[in-house]
A and B are shown apart, each in its own frame.
Chain A
């Protein structure tokens, strides 16, 4: 057993975990943050994507102890109070989900994607960068549409702020 301490959604948390505990288990079972999902458990589907120190990672493919002293953001941490994150709002607006199981991972991946490309996104890039996220309902069409719309919205916000 190890004691692990990290910052999750801006709050310092710690817990006693087995060394083999996956980050996603720590988030869901110790912290009760069940927005992060486990889909495949084989590192392929991306339902478990969270941000660790600002980068999208698969929380089913990282041990909780590896995240010691890191800053973790989950789907619960992206909205500002009642105001949805622009990517969440775009998924709602463009109906980028059906059953919703993959959605938390899709949104965390999309936020990371928009950051990495600094607003320079097109459909081809979005589809390539969604390679690690699987959706079995939508056929991806509206997910891509939502990400492009959010990208545009966020680029506009950045320009307005400058």
Chain B
């Protein structure tokens, strides 16, 4: 890891100010992606601004079906929340299979979203849950927030503070892991509300996470796996690499969607 200067801040305002003052600063939340990237010398921020001790970024509130989760809340805390498990089993499930237990103790919701790794789990969830991303400046709809591979709508001096959504009636998540990295080669989050169904897909799209709209329409008619028979995705829009061809991933999306449905 190249040399860097560490700063601990106690408020979002302080962090935003430091971002402006520093040369090339990076925000450190749980650090479970940033630190390995710095160790591999793929990132070399001049300064690290540690958001880990900002109390205002932590915590989960569930009011009826309205859920709001602070950006600094860890995956383990979300998974351990009985309220989340009760209103949104899909998110409970997802946060129990993300990374490994030690990573889940450190890694945060906001950190993962800001990184927008195309194989991360949360992007599928925020699309399916029609979530709102709250930042230090504004509120952003999930669909607008995710821009592309490792790219979000966040401006340079903008920090995610929370994520909110209305819990769906039913939800489920399933992923197929790369056997070595354990990242999702395809992860599908299915959420059913009174009138609509939303299907978020991560790991498979050539341009990052996406909504599978054809499946949403079919499932809105009939919320069961057989509704997906005959549907297919265009391989030209899928990711292809040494782990799996675009055709393989296109098929995997349907298989994972069926399994997610079985859990919802």
Q: Mark A residues whose CB is within 8 Å of B.
A: 2, 18-20, 22, 41-43, 46, 49, 55-58, 60-63, 65-66, 68, 109, 112-113, 116, 129, 131-133
Central interface residue in B2, B3, B40, B106, by most chain A CB within 10 Å: B106
8 contacts between A and B (CB under 8 A): A2-B6, A22-B35, A57-B106, A61-B36, A62-B31, A62-B106, A112-B101, A129-B101
- CB-CB under 8 A for A43 and B6, given A61-B32, A131-B182: no
A18 CA to B4 CA, complexed, in Å: 9
Q: Shortest Cβ distance from A127 into chain B, in angstroms?
A: 12
Q: Which 3 A-B pairs have the closest CB atoms?
A: A132-B100, A19-B6, A131-B100
B3-A18 in contact (CB<8A): yes
**B103 lies within 8 A of chain A by Cβ:** yes
A19 CA to B80 CA, complexed, in Å: 32
A63-B31 in contact (CB<8A): yes
Q: Shortest Cβ distance from B2 into chain A, in angstroms?
A: 7
Q: Give the chain A neighbours of B80 by CB distance below 8 A.
A: 116
Q: Shortest Cβ distance from B57 into chain A, in angstroms?
A: 15
Q: Give the chain B neighbours of A41 by CB distance below 8 A.
A: 39
Q: Give the chain B neighbours of A131 by CB distance below 8 A.
A: 100-101, 182
CB nearest to A41 among chain B residues: B39
B35-A56 in contact (CB<8A): no
A132-B8 in contact (CB<8A): no
CB nearest to A21 among chain B residues: B1
**Chain B contact residues: helix, strand, loop or mixed:** mixed
Q: Give the chain A neighbours of B8 by CB distance below 8 A.
A: 65, 68
A19 CA to B36 CA, complexed, in Å: 15
Q: Shortest Cβ distance from A74 into chain B, in angstroms?
A: 14
| Residue from the list B2, B52, B102 in contact with A58, Cβ < 8 A | B102
How many positions in chain B have a CB within 8 Å of any CB in the partner chain?
28
A18 CA to B36 CA, complexed, in Å: 17
| Residue from the list B2, B3, B48, B105 in contact with A56, Cβ < 8 A | B105
A55-B99 in contact (CB<8A): no
B102-A46 in contact (CB<8A): yes
CB nearest to B105 among chain A residues: A55
Q: Give the chain B neighbours of A56 by CB distance below 8 A.
A: 101-102, 105
B102-A109 in contact (CB<8A): yes
A66 CA to B28 CA, complexed, in Å: 10
A20-B76 in contact (CB<8A): no
Given contacts A42-B40, A43-B103, A68-B8, list 12 more A-B pairs with CB under 8 A. A2-B6, A19-B6, A20-B1, A20-B3, A43-B36, A46-B102, A57-B102, A57-B105, A57-B106, A63-B35, A65-B50, A109-B102
Q: Tell me the residues in window 134-159 of chain B with beta carbons closer than 8 Å to chain A beta carbons.
A: none
Q: Shortest Cβ distance from B106 into chain A, in angstroms?
A: 5
A116 CA to B5 CA, complexed, in Å: 35
CB nearest to B32 among chain A residues: A61
A132-B99 in contact (CB<8A): yes
CB nearest to B80 among chain A residues: A116
B102-A49 in contact (CB<8A): yes
Q: Shortest Cβ distance from B27 into chain A, in angstroms?
A: 13
Q: Give the chain A neighbours of B76 by CB distance below 8 A.
A: 55
B101-A109 in contact (CB<8A): yes
Q: Give the chain B neighbours of A61 by CB distance below 8 A.
A: 31-32, 35-36, 102-103, 106
Q: Give the chain A neighbours of B99 by CB distance below 8 A.
A: 132
